[in-house]
Amino acid sequence: MSKAKWLQIGVALLPLCATGVWAAANPDNGPGCGLGKLAWSDYDHPKSIAPQVMMATTNGTFGSQTFGISSGTSGCTNDGTIMAEHKVNVFAAANYESLSQEMARGGGEHLASLAELMGVPEETRPEFFALAQTQYASLVASGNTTPAAMIETLQSGMKTHPNLIKVSSN
Amino acid sequence: MSALLGFVLLVLCFIGNTSQSRAADGSYLHELQLRAVTAGLHQQRYWHLLLHYRPTLVGGYESEADEPGFFLAPNGKTDPKAELEATLSQFFSTELIGRSRQPGRCAFIARYHWLKAELAIDETRLPAEPCERFNSWFKELSPASMTLIFPSAYMNNPSSMFGHLLLRVDQKGQTEQTRLLAYTINYSADVTTDNGFVFAVLGVVGGFKGYFSTHPYYIKAREYGDFENRDLWEYRLNLTPEQIEHLLMHTWEMGNASLDYFFFKENCAYQILSLIEVADPDIHLTDRFWFYTFPSDGVRLIAEKPGLVKDVTFRPARATQIRRGREALSGDEQAWLSRIVRDPNEARGDSFTSLPAQRQALVLDVASDYLLYQIATGDNDTAVYRERNKAVLVARSQLKIPSVPVAIKPIAGPPEQGHDIRRVGLGTGWREGEFFNELNFRLAYHDLLDPEYGYTADAQIEALGIALRHYYRSDRTRIERFTLVNIVSLSPVNALFQSPSWKINTGFATIQHNGCRFCRIGNLNGGIGIAAESAWLKREVYFAFADLAAEYGRVFDSDYRIGGGITVGALADVTERWKIGLSGTYLQFPIGEKSGEWRISAQQRYTLHKNVALRFDFNQRAGTQEYLLNLQFYF
């Protein structure tokens, strides 16, 4: 346990619920909009960095501005909701690790949610899941394991799939 | 009310037909203000809820909102009537107001919606405002129902030790699989310091501003479930579409507000409950709290309203999935798991691949969960874990079978089924040849011997406890002990998890020392250690700590002593209701009064009812022995 944490425990006695955390700078250099950089996986020491960034993005200043209700347009959000054209990318960036895992497992709620955002109809989801499972090895083999590459891999797989091609061309 | 409304409508039919022109604005405004005040709308609960007014001690009102732009009258924070009149007046203007820069009727759409209905506002005399921003926001949320979410306690962050509350706006057409895409309504402080002490002080006195925000659930689920390892409890609320609309309209107008954030009372739980009151003004939630609002008390209040909760869903944190997943494996498979997380190439060996594909999948799934857990929470270089996880997942994808969904059993019960937070105890005991009676009270929250159901296991947080004793032979009544705070976090280690356990405790105690029979001392001590668990009887936890201790009291030579030592002990659930705790401590004090001390304690608890327990404690401290039989009630 770090010294800083002991200090917190010693002095920050017991607020009754989460209150947000120390503000941290929001790195606004992702693809398209600020939220694209929600890739926490980019940090080598997530325990020391990710929670702060995470909290800053979700509870702190970034949170109240970006996801602030009736706050107007900011980055890729509009009054606190994510603009339609950014939804897939933001979701993939925020859930990259769970999505990788569920691709390999051939299903799961993150993958189902991604399918929903990509417009894959309910009845072809089993095929989409099976495709994702096949595509996982090629995603890793390509060496480009970023959220954007993940989406691209899935889309290119769908283009050659008889029942998913219609969705991918939308 | 409905009779009045009917009458007003009738009157309006006549008036409305005769005045088509907005030239009559001034007179119509005046008429609405007069009718609103005559009808006493400014005294109604709903108006008070929308403006967050609370009665003051001197008989007036004051709003808990703290941003001037949230009020349309200069004295709106303290004058519900002036605010009502100014609000109506603002409705006749298209000026952009509030932090959200919208016309009054859009910025404060819940107020408009309510007043329009109460006063039957005639849109021919006050033409409708389109409010496109609100409409597209509402359409994007696509609300079908509301779910109250309780992320359970997280011991390793002092701001989350008691859990949290937020709302999720369930979308139309949402399934179990796509609930991640729903938006949440979250209330949190905008923390502006990284200094722990300043953080604590400002948090207690309301020095931070609280805001509402709408993160997608997948961000909150990741924050709680992956980074902080907090299980989530989801309570789907039974609200009508109209109630949901009211709640969201009010949430929208709270986009113009900030509220001073107080750790103890006006916190996340309090403000989330205030939104639910707007949905259904007949349920009283926030006025049930006086000095503090515990998130779990919020859940308890919601759960005890008949019919308000439709269903309860448990969403396990990553660590819970790993623990349960590992339990579902055979001994051999657990050994495979340990090997594979260290070297994923093991998953390619003939002996592993000869297992049935379904069993291989189970092992690899837990392995990947474990590696992701390390990536999210580990101190060390995570690149290693990332590479291992990739290798595990490639092996998993080549099995070409989907994972069978496993129902994960919660480790702690649902929070509303745990014992109540405050505790009072009545006891009788014996100390060094003398009988005494004891009355004790603890404001919060849970100790390791309290009935555990509904609470995070192996986590103790006691705050503000006091014990009064009357001793018979010496005929004296005294404050025997006072606990400011006493926290213990035990983290049993196993092949996969190795986190330190820790504890901190401060308060006043009574000791017998240097010939003084009843001597009050102040103490502060903490420790860091290790814990392990077994399942011989039901469940046992063992612990060992390295302690640091400082004590202050006139009984000591030079008034104080500082030192350290070790503690070892065990906790055992003998049956569902019966729990035993044993511990022994040796402390050596080299600074101040030089001395050494043994402490031994043996405690037992028997649960009689969710909120009643019997305790029998034996304590020995530096040769002073004491027995206490104690009946405890939680309320």
Question: pLDDT-based confidence at A52, cuts 50/70/90?
Answer: very low
Task: Flag whether pLDDT at A116 surpasses 90.
Answer: yes
Question: pLDDT-based confidence at B415, cuts 50/70/90?
Answer: very high
Query: Does A28 map to a domain?
Result: no
User: A170 and chain B: CB distance < 8 Å anywhere?
Assistant: no
pLDDT given at position B158: 62
Backbone torsion region of residue A63, taken as left when φ is above 0, otherwise alpha when ψ lies between -120 and 50, otherwise beta? alpha
Question: pLDDT-based confidence at A30, cuts 50/70/90?
Answer: very low
Mean pLDDT (chain A) is 72
User: A83 and chain B: CB distance < 8 Å anywhere?
Assistant: no
Out of B342, B363, B397, pick the residue that ends a domain. B397
Task: Flag whether pLDDT at B632 surpasses 50.
Answer: yes
DSSP B439: E
Of B133, B163, B487, the CB nearest to A79: B133
pLDDT digits (tens, 9 = 90+) for B448-469: 999 999 998 899 999 999 999 9
Task: Flag whether pLDDT at B440 surpasses 80.
Answer: yes
User: B500 and chain A: CB distance < 8 Å anywhere?
Assistant: yes
Nearest to B296 by CA among B160, B447, B199, B411: B160
Show residues of chain A in contact with B216, CB under 8 Å. 82, 90-91, 94
Indicate which of B213, B251, B442 best probes the interface with A, i.e. most A CBs within 10 Å of its own CB: B213
Nearest to B89 by CA among B107, B104, B100: B104
Query: Does B293 map to a domain?
Result: yes
Of B196, B255, B376, the CB nearest to A69: B255
Query: Does B409 map to a domain?
Result: no
Of A58, A109, A129, the CB nearest to B219: A58
In this complex, do A20 and B208 lie within 8 Å of one another by their Cβ atoms?
A: yes
In B, residues 222-261, which contact A (CB 8 Å cutoff)? 222-223, 226-228, 251-256, 261
- Cα maximum dimension of chain A: 62
Q: Are residues B108 and B164 in the same domain?
A: no
Instruction: Retrieve residue B320's tokens.
Output: 């819970």
Of B191, B255, B369, the CB nearest to A19: B191
Q: Are B569 and B584 in contact (CB under 8 A)?
A: yes
Burial class of residue B3, CB neighbours in 10 A (0-12, 13-18, 19+): exposed
In this complex, do B199 and A68 lie within 8 Å of one another by their Cβ atoms?
A: no
Question: pLDDT-based confidence at A148, cuts 50/70/90?
Answer: confident
Mean pLDDT value of segment B417-433: 95
What's the CATH code of the domain at B546?
2.40.160.40
Instruction: Retrieve residue A84's tokens.
Output: 């339609």
User: B404 and chain A: CB distance < 8 Å anywhere?
Assistant: no
Query: Does A15 map to a domain?
Result: no
Question: pLDDT-based confidence at B9, cuts 50/70/90?
Answer: very low
Task: Flag whether pLDDT at B374 surpasses 70.
Answer: yes
ipTM of the complex: 0.87
User: How many DSSP H helices and E strands does chain B contain?
Assistant: 17, 23
d(CA B480, CA B464): 14
Distance from the B396 Cα atom to the nearest Cα atom in chain A, whole angstroms = 6
Q: Are residues B118 and B143 in the same domain?
A: no
In this complex, do A113 and B177 lie within 8 Å of one another by their Cβ atoms?
A: yes
In A, residues 87-146, which contact B (CB 8 Å cutoff)? 90-91, 94-95, 97-98, 100-101, 103-110, 112-113, 116-117, 129-130, 133-134, 136-137, 140, 145
Q: Are residues B376 and B230 in the same domain?
A: no
The span from the first CA to the last CA of chain B, in angstroms, equals 38
Q: Are residues A118 and A145 in the same domain?
A: yes
Out of B65, B94, B128, pick the residue that ends a domain. B128
In this complex, do B403 and A105 lie within 8 Å of one another by their Cβ atoms?
A: yes
Most confident of A60-74, A105-119, B194-208: A105-119
Show residues of chain A in contact with B383, CB under 8 Å. 44
Q: Are residues B41 and B109 in the same domain?
A: yes
Helix (H, G, I), strand (E, B) or coil at A115: helix
User: B163 and chain A: CB distance < 8 Å anywhere?
Assistant: yes
pLDDT digits (tens, 9 = 90+) for B32-54: 999 999 999 999 999 999 999 99
Q: Are residues B151 and B89 in the same domain?
A: no
Of A71, A100, A134, the CB nearest to B255: A71
Query: Does A12 map to a domain?
Result: no
Burial class of residue B411, CB neighbours in 10 A (0-12, 13-18, 19+): middle
pLDDT digits (tens, 9 = 90+) for B514-567: 889 899 999 999 999 999 999 999 999 999 999 999 999 999 999 999 999 999
Angle between helix B331-342 and helix B357-377 axes, rounded to 10 deg = 50
pLDDT given at position A168: 63
Query: Does A26 map to a domain?
Result: no
Nearest to B320 by CA among B373, B361, B392: B373
Indicate the residue type of B486.
N
Percent of chain A at pLDDT > 70 equals 60
Task: Flag whether pLDDT at B495 surpasses 70.
Answer: yes
Q: Are residues A73 and A99 in the same domain?
A: no
Torsion sign, CA atoms B541, B546, B548, B554:
positive
Q: Are residues B226 and B119 in the same domain?
A: no
Of B200, B398, B461, the CB nearest to A11: B200
Task: Flag whether pLDDT at A42 surpasses 80.
Answer: no
Domain that holds residue B361: 329-397
For B122-129, the CB contacts below 8 A with 24+ separation are: B122/B12, B122/B15, B122/B16, B122/B28, B124/B16, B124/B19, B124/B20, B125/B16, B125/B19, B125/B20, B125/B22, B125/B24, B125/B25, B125/B28, B126/B25, B126/B28, B126/B91, B126/B92, B127/B22, B129/B94, B129/B103, B129/B105
Query: Does A144 map to a domain?
Result: yes
Out of B81, B99, B128, pick the residue that ends a domain. B128
Q: Are residues A70 and A100 in the same domain?
A: no
Query: Does A121 map to a domain?
Result: yes
User: A32 and chain B: CB distance < 8 Å anywhere?
Assistant: no
Task: Flag whether pLDDT at B491 surpasses 50.
Answer: yes
Q: Are residues A119 and A62 in the same domain?
A: no
d(CA B101, CA B110): 16
Distance from the A169 Cα atom to the nearest Cα atom in chain B, whole angstroms = 23
Q: Are residues A66 and A124 in the same domain?
A: no
In this complex, do A45 and B183 lie within 8 Å of one another by their Cβ atoms?
A: no
Q: Are residues A74 and A104 in the same domain?
A: no
pLDDT digits (tens, 9 = 90+) for B320-355: 999 999 999 999 999 999 999 999 999 999 999 999
- Residue, of A13 and A145, whose pLDDT is higher: A145
Show residues of chain B in contact with A80, CB under 8 Å. 137, 183, 213-214, 255
- Residue, of B362 and A94, whose pLDDT is higher: B362
Closest A-chain CA to B189 = A19
Of B179, B216, B369, the CB nearest to A82: B216
User: A78 and chain B: CB distance < 8 Å anywhere?
Assistant: yes
Mean pLDDT value of segment B66-84: 97
pLDDT given at position A65: 61
Query: Does A160 map to a domain?
Result: yes
Helix (H, G, I), strand (E, B) or coil at B30: helix
- Residue, of B263 and B37, whose pLDDT is higher: B37
Query: Does B321 map to a domain?
Result: no
d(CA B245, CA B145): 10
Show residues of chain B in contact with A55, CB under 8 Å. 223
Query: Does B598 map to a domain?
Result: yes
Mean pLDDT (chain B) is 92
Query: Does B6 map to a domain?
Result: yes
DSSP B629: E
Q: Are residues B493 and B611 in the same domain?
A: yes
Q: Are residues A75 and A106 in the same domain?
A: no
Instruction: Retrieve residue A123's tokens.
Output: 């009845």
Backbone torsion region of residue B515, taken as left when φ is above 0, otherwise alpha when ψ lies between -120 and 50, otherwise beta? left
Cis peptide before B183 (omega within 30 of 0): no
Task: Flag whether pLDDT at B170 surpasses 50.
Answer: yes
- Residue, of A120 and A44, whose pLDDT is higher: A120
Show residues of chain A in contact with B267, CB under 8 Å. 15-17, 19
φ and ψ at B121, to 5 degrees? -60, 130
pLDDT given at position B159: 63
- Cα maximum dimension of chain B: 96
Q: Are residues B310 and B254 in the same domain?
A: yes
Q: Are residues A66 and A42 in the same domain?
A: yes
Query: Does A3 map to a domain?
Result: no
Indicate which of A17, A41, A113, A144 best probes the interface with B, i.e. most B CBs within 10 Å of its own CB: A17
In this complex, do A100 and B393 lie within 8 Å of one another by their Cβ atoms?
A: yes
In this complex, do B378 and A71 lie within 8 Å of one another by their Cβ atoms?
A: no
Task: Flag whether pLDDT at A1 surpasses 80.
Answer: no
Name the E strands within chain A. 73-74, 77-78, 81-82
Length of chain B, in residues: 635
Q: Are residues B74 and B163 in the same domain?
A: no
Q: Which residues contact B175 (CB under 8 A, 6 or more apart)?
A: A112
Task: Flag whether pLDDT at A27 surpasses 60.
Answer: no
Q: Are residues B168 and B258 in the same domain?
A: yes
Distance from the B281 Cα atom to the nearest Cα atom in chain A, whole angstroms = 23
Helix (H) or strand (E) holding B267: none
In this complex, do A50 and B227 lie within 8 Å of one another by their Cβ atoms?
A: yes
- Looking at the 3D structure of chain B, how many domains does it have? 4
Instruction: Retrieve residue B510's tokens.
Output: 């009574």
Domain that holds residue A152: 95-168
Q: Are residues B25 and B116 in the same domain?
A: yes
Indicate which of A19, A35, A48 best probes the interface with B, i.e. most B CBs within 10 Å of its own CB: A19
Question: pLDDT-based confidence at B190, cuts 50/70/90?
Answer: confident
Nearest to B148 by CA among B299, B357, B360, B355: B299
Q: Are residues A99 and A78 in the same domain?
A: no
Residue with tokens 């009665």: B55
Query: Does B81 map to a domain?
Result: yes
Nearest to B601 by CA among B509, B529, B513, B479: B509
Nearest to A15 by CA among B160, B231, B152: B160
- Looking at the 3D structure of chain A, how many domains does it have? 2
Q: Which residues contact A20 (CB under 8 A, 6 or more apart)?
A: A55, A59, A60, A63, B159, B188, B189, B190, B191, B208
In this complex, do A108 and B403 lie within 8 Å of one another by their Cβ atoms?
A: yes
Of A1, A14, A54, the CB nearest to B158: A14
Distance from the A74 Cα atom to the nearest Cα atom in chain B, whole angstroms = 12
User: A165 and chain B: CB distance < 8 Å anywhere?
Assistant: no
Q: Are residues B356 and B427 in the same domain?
A: no
Mean pLDDT value of segment B301-325: 94
Indicate which of B96, B159, B185 best probes the interface with A, i.e. most A CBs within 10 Å of its own CB: B159
Q: Which residues contact A121 (CB under 8 A, 6 or more apart)?
A: A167
Angle between helix B295-304 and helix B268-279 axes, rounded to 10 deg = 20
User: B403 and chain A: CB distance < 8 Å anywhere?
Assistant: yes
Question: pLDDT-based confidence at A170, cuts 50/70/90?
Answer: low
